[in-house]
Structure 1
Amino acid sequence: MSQPSEHPETKGQVADAVKGNWVDTRAPAFSRPYLRLSRADRPIGTWLLLLPCWWAVLLAALAAGPFTLWDGWVMLGCAAGAWLMRGAGCTWNDITDRDFDAKVARTRSRPIPSGQVSVRAAALWMAAQAFIAFAILLTFPPLAIALGIASLALVAIYPFAKRFTWWPQVFLGLAFNWGALLAWAAHDGTLGWPALALYLAGIAWTLFYDTIYAHQDTEDDALIGVKSTARLFGDSSPRWLFGFLVAAVLLLALAVIGAVAPLGNPLALVVALGGVWAFGWHLAWQLRGLRIDSPETCLSLFRSNRDAGLLAALFFAVALFL
């Protein structure tokens, strides 16, 4: 008896993709495996890569001068670059992890282990995305260009981190928040200590949300020998997450104070710090609802970090006009 064929809208769909996403329902069939490699069907990663960049542009504009059309271009360029470099990075991750992915229930449906895309085709797709992102980067000041090139080392190392350390989330944080430094430098070609505080805040935030994310795979990761902070912390994860929450909020507040306080505008400072409070409130809400033994809850909370980051960005944007 023949097996029923897959519905056209679910054929090749990745297990943890957003249901009914545009890739699976609207993108041309030939492009879907490549867009899945880029995680276009799972946009949360692009947001998490982009939001520290937007924080940096907004705070740099508060610190060193008015928001200009150039800053608007930097924000747009960062958005395009985040989509492209997240896609290139995820493609590289899937190339290096193809054997691991085939052994994990959540990831065996990805394009390479499921046979939708060959390793050679994936490598060419990765190179194409990186090339376009580099073309955008060349419109930025020299320091930002140098920082963008330097980030490639972090991107290259990250997929291997879970093989040699229990803290691969640190490497993800280093890579995912590098854009905060790059975008700050793109504002006027310089960096100040608030940019470093912002970068460290982003790393603490990444440790928070990616530990939650990693709790989806703890059983499979233990079977295949993959390390993560979720496995390291185990049932103690909520206490560690609270520590990352506090670190992220304090460092973000430090970055805001360093950028805004010298302006002598108390209202702008209060509003910008309101963004820090809203960000911290959202992380506390996530922690209250966390169930580390529920993959569905972990995935939902992980995705909600887009809203946490957007809350901060909204307050920073309002402070610009005060």
Structure 2
Amino acid sequence: MFFSTKDTGPVADAVKRHWVDTHLPAWARPYARLARWERPIGWWLLLWPCWWSAGLAAIAQEAPWPNPWHLALFLIGAVAMRGAGCTYNDLVDEDIDAQVERTRSRPIPAGQVSRLQAKVFLVLQALVGLVVLVQFNTFAIGLGVASLLPVAIYPFMKRITNWPQFFLGLAFSWGALMGWAAAFGSLSWAPVVLYIGGISWTIGYDTIYAHQDKEDDALVGVKSTARLFGAWTKPAIFLLYAAATVLFVVAASLADAGPAAFAGIVIGAAHLAWQAIILDIDDPDQCLKLFRSNATYGWILFAGFVVDGLIHWL
């Protein structure tokens, strides 16, 4: 049977006693772990730039709220494409993952899923993403196809540059362009500036995440901003998050946003500052907790944009 797998237990850094392990049949669990279904933070971080962009587009259109159909499509697409991206990344990084304590129990290096099975699963997830993408206008479809370039090159960057987090930002922040394109069928400076801010935000939160693996990364030769910044990580995070905040303010201004949107950005900035202040780069558990807290940050900004759109409409 093609989908036959062997479940040798959960991945080391997976959420324990998640529904993937308690409710899915044994044959499906390795695929769920391959797509990181038990770790929704990944698709939230991919989704937020999409929803922020849709929120700013609604403000610019003087609509009461972002297009609900677009929000639903972005949600489905984020889950599917995050899973596809993780599957692709694991195929590329099989040898590296096998040498890192936190990742050696992932489905491919652990032998739970064969490379052929993983490739078929990757195609199936990508097809779901394609079905979502073709629901949008022609411009947005072309823009979505273009996003495959940064997605394709990202896994290789950790081998050749100290800035793989920058390339992750190029891929994960692409939704900042998509939300606006889906609403207008074109781009303007507001989503472009939002995109650049998203890249800065991504470098910040993924630097925190990368500190979990810095010792193993050094042994196997994987590069990262965590290793690059080292003891200077705290000031670097402050600068990256400050840059993201300023750029989000500029993007909101270009979209003619009102006080509620800026209030959300300010409250969000306080949350980012809290991350940087309490960060202990030598505490892997805390690094993971702070990384995951960026889902809360996403809600704060999105809530500000939605409330601002409602106020404008009323």
- Range into which the TM-score falls when normalised by the shorter chain: over 0.9
- SS of 2:310 mapped into structure 1: coil
- What RMSD, in angstroms, separates the aligned Cα atoms of the two structures? 1.2
Q: Deviations over 1:185-235 (max 9, x none)?
A: 001212110101100111010011000000000000000000000000100
Of 37, 42, 54, the match for 1:40: 37
Separation (CA, whole Å) in 2 of partners of 1:149 and 1:189: 15
- Aligned twin of 2:3: none
How far the C-alpha of 1:260 sits from its partner, in A, is 2.0
Listed as ranges, the gaps of 5+ residues in structure 2 are 1-6
- SS of 1:256 mapped into structure 2: helix
- Aligned twin of 1:56: 53
CA contact (8 A) 1:12 1:116 kept: no
1:291 aligns with 2:280: yes
- Aligned twin of 1:12: 9
Separation (CA, whole Å) in 1 of partners of 2:286 and 2:33: 23
How far the C-alpha of 1:28 sits from its partner, in A, is 2.1
Q: Deviations over 1:288-311 (max 9, x none)?
A: 110000100100100111001111
Q: Deviations over 1:8-40 (max 9, x none)?
A: xx9521111122221111122221111111010
Of 266, 272, 284, the match for 1:277: 266
Residues matched between the structures, number: 305
- SS of 1:190 mapped into structure 2: coil
CA contact (8 A) 2:80 2:129 kept: yes
- SS of 1:163 mapped into structure 2: coil
Separation (CA, whole Å) in 1 of partners of 2:24 and 2:194: 36
Q: TM-score if structure 1 supplies the norm length?
A: 0.93
- Aligned twin of 2:254: 258
- Aligned twin of 2:22: 25
Identity %, equivalent residues: 53
Residue range with higher mean Cα deviation, 279-288 or 21-30: 21-30
How far the C-alpha of 1:64 sits from its partner, in A, is 2.1
How far the C-alpha of 1:80 sits from its partner, in A, is 0.3
CA contact (8 A) 2:62 2:309 kept: no
Q: TM-score if structure 2 supplies the norm length?
A: 0.95
1:99 aligns with 2:101: no
1:300 aligns with 2:272: no
Of 182, 188, 195, the match for 1:192: 188
Residue range with higher mean Cα deviation, 41-50 or 15-24: 15-24
Q: How does 1:174-253 map to 2 (within 5 A)?
A: 174-253=170-249
- SS of 2:255 mapped into structure 1: helix
